[in-house]
Amino acid sequence: MKFITYNINGIRAVIKKGFLEWLKATEADYICLQEIKASADQLDLGVFEQIGYQVYWYPAEKKGYSGVAILAKHKVNRVQYGLGIDQYDREGRLLQIDTEEFTLISTYMPSGTTGEIRQGFKFQWLDDFYNYIANLKQKVPNLIISGDYNICHKEIDIHNPTKNVNTSGFLPEERAWMSKMMDSGFIDTFRHFNKEPHHYTWWSTRSGAREKNLGWRIDYHLASQALENRLKRCTILSKVYFSDHCPVLLELN
């Protein structure tokens, strides 16, 4: 069973670049998208149905901003849009589906790069999201949280840890939060299989950062410990260029 998470930075832009053809070729069972940046009335969602997917779409209220989606090939028992906290749900930051086997979340966590106000918003989100997941995990043993976390966990996950030590996305408090998530019973599925450096999922569009592989690993599939014996592989698809991010593929037995 294949899962892909991908911050596409605008669904309409990537469709023009051949995204649908690539998506079909992946034969993925579940696709978690972030930064869809479009409401359902701004594009034809039927294009996903034509290649075999049920579409669950959760845009932000603000046009051209944020939003998440899940595309699913298999039966979905329940869908939840948002955390139930208005300040986040207006920005379309969490979408959850429940199946017979597992619960899957697509999330786009806030960035704090625009200043103190948004960094404070991000810290509040991290607290509220952690509490939400802690409660959910008591009910759902098989849980996969996929998306753009906007945090590099460890020094190995960023090209210049010394320079970025005081940069949003690599702040000590953010990194500690990621550790707390792991300690609460989650597996960083990419690091479960790969301990090597220089693997990233986002690159600045300036100064040829992607060509030089000067990136950040901020996109994750976290899986609950109950799924450990089903993990088959997790790989970063760094040669896929539809966005300033790249997709991450998780396979389960």
Q: Which residues contact 131 (CB under 8 A, 6 or more apart)?
A: none
What confidence category does residue 223 fall into, taking pLDDT thresholds of 50, 70 and 90?
very high
Residue 102: per-residue pLDDT: 98
What confidence category does residue 52 fall into, taking pLDDT thresholds of 50, 70 and 90?
very high
- 164: domain CATH number is 3.60.10.10
Among all residues, which ones are annotated catalytic?
Answer: 148
Pairing of strands 68-72, 54-58: antiparallel
End-to-end Cα, the chain, rounded Å:
6
Cα 157 from Cα 219, distance rounded (Å)? 10
What residues make up the domain containing 23? 2-252
Q: Is the pTM of this model over 0.85?
A: yes
Closest among 63, 30, 88 to 247, alpha carbons compared: 30
- Contact (Cβ atoms closer than 8 angstroms) between residue 52 and residue 78: no
SS3 per residue for the chain: CEEEEEECCCHHHHHHCCHHHHHHHHCCCEEEEECCCCCHHHCCCHHHHCCCCEEEEECCCCCCCCCEEEEECCCCCEEEECCCCHHHHCCCCEEEEECCCCEEEEEECCCCCCCHHHHHHHHHHHHHHHHHHHHHHHHCCCEEEEEECCCCCCHHHECCCCCCCCCCCCCHHHHHHHHHHHHCCEEEHHHHHCCCCCCCCEECCCCCCCCCCCEECCEEEEEEHHHHHHEEEEEECCCCCCCCECCEEEEEC
Total domains present in the chain: 1
What confidence category does residue 30 fall into, taking pLDDT thresholds of 50, 70 and 90?
very high
- Average pLDDT of the segment spanning 170-186: 98
What confidence category does residue 144 fall into, taking pLDDT thresholds of 50, 70 and 90?
very high
Tell me what the pLDDT averaged over the chain comes to.
Answer: 97
Residue 95: per-residue pLDDT: 98
- Average pLDDT of the segment spanning 124-153: 98
Closest among 174, 46, 161 to 110, alpha carbons compared: 174
**Phi–psi pair at 114, nearest 5 degrees:** -90, 0
- Average pLDDT of the segment spanning 68-85: 98
Residue 32: per-residue pLDDT: 99
Residue 51: per-residue pLDDT: 97
Lookup: tokens for 133? 């997941």
